[in-house]
Amino acid sequence: MTLLLEVLDLTGTFVFGISGAIAGVRHKVDLFGVLVLSFAAANAGGIMRDLIIGSIPPATISQWQYIVAALLPGLLTFYFYPVVKKLNHPLLIFDAAGLSLFAVSGSLKALEFHLNPLAAVLLGILTGVGGGVTRDILVGEVPVILRTDIYAVAALAGSSLVVGGYFLGLPSVALAVMGGALCFFIRIMAIHYHWRLPIPKVHE
Amino acid sequence: MTLLLEVLDLTGTFVFGISGAIAGVRHKVDLFGVLVLSFAAANAGGIMRDLIIGSIPPATISQWQYIVAALLPGLLTFYFYPVVKKLNHPLLIFDAAGLSLFAVSGSLKALEFHLNPLAAVLLGILTGVGGGVTRDILVGEVPVILRTDIYAVAALAGSSLVVGGYFLGLPSVALAVMGGALCFFIRIMAIHYHWRLPIPKVHE
Amino acid sequence: MTLLLEVLDLTGTFVFGISGAIAGVRHKVDLFGVLVLSFAAANAGGIMRDLIIGSIPPATISQWQYIVAALLPGLLTFYFYPVVKKLNHPLLIFDAAGLSLFAVSGSLKALEFHLNPLAAVLLGILTGVGGGVTRDILVGEVPVILRTDIYAVAALAGSSLVVGGYFLGLPSVALAVMGGALCFFIRIMAIHYHWRLPIPKVHE
């Protein structure tokens, strides 16, 4: 379980770091600003999760692997941006991968700390969306979670699958793969086909 | 005391949730975005308070009643917005109610965790204003606390009354009612009569 | 060590408080809004640090000295703004002083809580930049850390000197003075001579 959590967290840290760095490059901040955004996007969700479940100090601050995983994508993105930007919607794709990995790791870690199922689903969502929200607020944009594509719903689906399967006794690794894949699939489909949830009717 | 805190927190969660949902509807976010804002406005203040006083995991994350109290107003507001918006200044009124309830609950919970009087007043203010600040930052507005009507002053008055009365040995329920009423009254009067504090004179 | 930390923290609180109050005056918020910004700028970094290292409740909330040190500069700045604004770049200078003091105190406190050297450097940076980022987000500006002058780099230099010297067994007071001076010097030089780090080349 610990190894699985580490793999999920480190990979999530890395891909969210790329999304933060891309946001930085687009806003023309300097090298250290790119590293700050890379670090913030990569670690904000995990730090929030760890503070809330009482895992102090957060692994993301106290272990060097996480720090490397958060800063390396900043350096790479900064110097190889022409490669990154050839992807279609690169920021959204790395953001979707980070969302999926952290939604799964957040739920699993909350279960490991004996939180109840509903709390574990919520922490999965919070861990998944925390990095992107922090990144967007820092660069002064409306957080991606509030724009009109399906976002938190994807994290909800992934987290719920993980938590439901956990209480059915299914193996954690299989749940992590399936939950992450489900979240990523929903999010990418939503981006590609512009899936949307209902928008409120306001007659003002 | 515990029951009183729960009643205050749950009611505050519900009304702040409405304020978050209203902000979401006005910014035309989708259903899940409204739920996210409802949840954030409802729980941010309480989570900050619980992390600071060391009540981990925060009740708002770990108990299902709080989650229902935070999401239900989002659903109701989303589907019955025409009813809500017939109120005069609906966002400000529900925000004022949440401010009052959380200012009182924040102070009482801090006292229960043996913080000193000054810290209890501060935590009352922080708990009261945390939800509204988070809501406003998420939708990209200047937080209501910084706009020119009396806001944090109202929370200060309510918290101070609660903390002062507590050390005089008055019963918690009476203090909660009086402190909450005082905060709500000041805030509503400030909205209605445009009460303002002095603004600095800048000659630039 | 405890006394040294208190002196650093209290002085940092005071000067960051001034920077918050200046931001408030410039944005024409009322007296209480100025106090809110003064408090937020002064204490956000320290609160983040204390939550992450597990020093709960944070000293900034529970001890009256910190509360006075955070609110007094708000009052002074509000009523004596004409004096403050005669300084060249007053907000940036007080911000640089706060950055330096908190970078040093953040590193030292993290070391005292037995975090590893890399984490201590990171916490120095986080404590240093937390107040300014919170202040800037509250007033709706892009955080100073992301604008193009050298900022987090200065905190990194100060923190690294402190942490490196600590493991060489040098006395804490000397390290604090040297680390703080180094950070302040780099930051002020960067402001004065418009030193900049490379900016990414985007061909979009």
Contacts A35 to C, Cβ<8 Å: 152
Nearest CA to CA, how far is A167 from chain C (Å)? 31
Q: Please tell me which of the candidates A30, A57, A64 has its beta carbon nearest to residue C199.
A: A30
Query: How many other C-beta atoms are found inside a 10 Å radius of the C-beta of residue C76?
Result: 17
Flag if C145 and A33 touch (Cβ within 8 Å): yes
Q: Would you call C151 an interface residue with chain A, using a CB distance cutoff of 8 Å?
A: yes
| Mutation to test the B interface, candidates C25, C26, C31, C32, most B Cβ within 10 Å | C32
Flag if B201 and C30 touch (Cβ within 8 Å): no
Q: Would you call C81 an interface residue with chain B, using a CB distance cutoff of 8 Å?
A: yes
Residue C144, pLDDT score: 84
Nearest CA to CA, how far is B170 from chain A (Å)? 33
Q: pTM of this prediction?
A: 0.90
Q: State how far the Cα of B66 lies from the Cα of B60, in Å rounded to an integer.
A: 5
Nearest CA to CA, how far is B142 from chain C (Å)? 6
Contacts A150 to B, Cβ<8 Å: 30, 32
Residue B201, pLDDT score: 60
- By CA distance, what is A137's nearest residue in C? C137
Chains in touch with C (≥3 Cβ pairs < 8 A): A, B
Residue C51, pLDDT score: 94
Q: Would you call C114 an interface residue with chain A, using a CB distance cutoff of 8 Å?
A: no
Q: Please tell me which of the candidates C52, C118, C204 has its beta carbon nearest to residue A67.
A: C118
Q: Would you call C142 an interface residue with chain A, using a CB distance cutoff of 8 Å?
A: yes
* Res. C160 pLDDT band, cuts 50 70 90: very high
- Angle between helix axes C152-167 and C117-138 (nearest 10 degrees) is 150
Q: What is the mean pLDDT of residues C174-185?
A: 95
pLDDT tens across A14-63, in order? Answer: 999 999 999 999 988 888 889 999 999 999 999 999 999 999 889 888 88
- By CA distance, what is B58's nearest residue in A? A52
* Res. B204 pLDDT band, cuts 50 70 90: very low
Residue B5, pLDDT score: 85
Q: Please tell me which of the candidates A30, A62, A139 has its beta carbon nearest to residue C148.
A: A30
Q: Would you call B80 an interface residue with chain A, using a CB distance cutoff of 8 Å?
A: no
Could you give the percent of chain B with pLDDT greater than 90? 64
Q: What is the mean pLDDT of residues B116-127?
A: 93
Closest CA to A124 of A93, A92, A98: A98
- How far is C-alpha C12 from the chain's CA centre? 6
Contacts B52 to C, Cβ<8 Å: 47, 51, 56-58, 61
Contacts C20 to B, Cβ<8 Å: none
CA distances from A154 to A101, A178, B138, C76 (A): 12, 13, 20, 50
Residue A204, pLDDT score: 45
Flag if A199 and B57 touch (Cβ within 8 Å): no
Could you give the percent of chain B with pLDDT greater than 70? 96
A177 sits in which H/E element: helix A172-193
Q: What is the mean pLDDT of residues A79-107?
A: 88
- In order, the DSSP letters of chain C are -HHHHHHHHHHHHHHHHHHHHHHHHHTT--HHHHHHHHHHHHHHHHHHHHHHHT-SS-HHHH-HHHHHHHHHHHHHHHHSHHHHTTSSSHHHHHHHHHHHHHHHHHHHHHHHTT--HHHHHHHHHHHHHHHHHHHHHHTT---GGGSSB--HHHHHHHHHHHHHHHHTT--HHHHHHHHHHHHHHHHHHHHHHT-B--------
* Res. B146 pLDDT band, cuts 50 70 90: confident
Residue entry with tokens 């002085």: C11
- By CA distance, what is B61's nearest residue in A? A119
Contacts B82 to A, Cβ<8 Å: 203
Residue A83, pLDDT score: 84
Nearest CA to CA, how far is B186 from chain C (Å)? 14
Question: Is the pLDDT confidence value at B72 over 60?
Answer: yes
Q: What is the mean pLDDT of residues A184-204?
A: 77
Q: What is the mean pLDDT of residues A141-161?
A: 89
Q: Would you call A168 an interface residue with chain B, using a CB distance cutoff of 8 Å?
A: no
Q: Please tell me which of the candidates C51, C145, C204 has its beta carbon nearest to residue A36.
A: C145
Question: Is the pLDDT confidence value at A200 over 70?
Answer: no
Q: Would you call B27 an interface residue with chain A, using a CB distance cutoff of 8 Å?
A: yes
Q: Please tell me which of the candidates C52, C196, C201 has its beta carbon nearest to residue A61.
A: C52
Closest CA to C5 of C105, C155, C100: C105
Regarding predicted confidence, which is higher, A112 or A201?
Answer: A112
pLDDT tens across C13-64, in order? Answer: 999 999 999 999 998 888 888 999 999 999 999 999 999 999 988 988 888 8
Residue B61, pLDDT score: 85
Residue C84, pLDDT score: 81
- Tally C-beta pairs within 8 A across B and C: 87
Flag if A31 and C118 touch (Cβ within 8 Å): no
Q: Please tell me which of the candidates C27, C32, C47 has its beta carbon nearest to residue B153.
A: C32
Contacts C133 to A, Cβ<8 Å: 138
Q: Would you call A196 an interface residue with chain B, using a CB distance cutoff of 8 Å?
A: yes
- How far is C-alpha C109 from the chain's CA centre? 14
Contacts B148 to C, Cβ<8 Å: 29-30, 33
Regarding predicted confidence, which is higher, A97 or A61?
Answer: A97
Contact status, residue C68 vs residue C74, Cβ threshold 8 Å: no
- By CA distance, what is A68's nearest residue in C? C118
Flag if A140 and C145 touch (Cβ within 8 Å): no
Flag if B32 and A150 touch (Cβ within 8 Å): yes
Contact status, residue B82 vs residue B99, Cβ threshold 8 Å: no
- By CA distance, what is B85's nearest residue in A? A204
Q: State how far the Cα of B140 lies from the Cα of C181, in Å rounded to an integer.
A: 37
Q: Would you call A51 an interface residue with chain C, using a CB distance cutoff of 8 Å?
A: yes
> At C80, phi and psi to the nearest 5?
-120, 35
Closest CA to A48 of C137, B61, B99: B61
Flag if C137 and B137 touch (Cβ within 8 Å): yes
